[in-house]
């Protein structure tokens, strides 16, 4: 059975949720620690916080940047 909610692999969906929650933020100015915390606070997010690495956060940041460009 598939789990409900977003996982670290859902970088585009996470980015879209972050854009909605933080519309005035430039993702290039975010520290990864802050980005990680924001992802963990998303209502739809449901994954192990330990499964997050720098490459995962980079993918989320890149998706966010490409969506607002």
Dihedral (CA of 32, 35, 39, 41) sign: positive
pLDDT of residue 6: 97
Q: Mean pLDDT, to the nearest integer, of 40-62?
A: 97
Residue 63 has pLDDT above 90, yes or no: yes
pLDDT of residue 1: 44
The percentage of residues in the chain with a pLDDT greater than 70, rounded to a whole number, is 96
pTM: 0.91
């Amino acid at each position: 059975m598939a789990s409900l909610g977003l996982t670290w692999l859902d970088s585009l969906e996470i980015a879209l949720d972050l854009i909605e929650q933080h519309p005035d933020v430039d993702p290039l100015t975010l520290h990864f620690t802050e980005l990680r915390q924001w992802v963990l606070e998303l209502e739809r997010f449901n994954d192990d916080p330990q499964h997050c690495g720098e490459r995962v956060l980079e993918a989320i940041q890149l998706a966010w940047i490409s969506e607002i460009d």
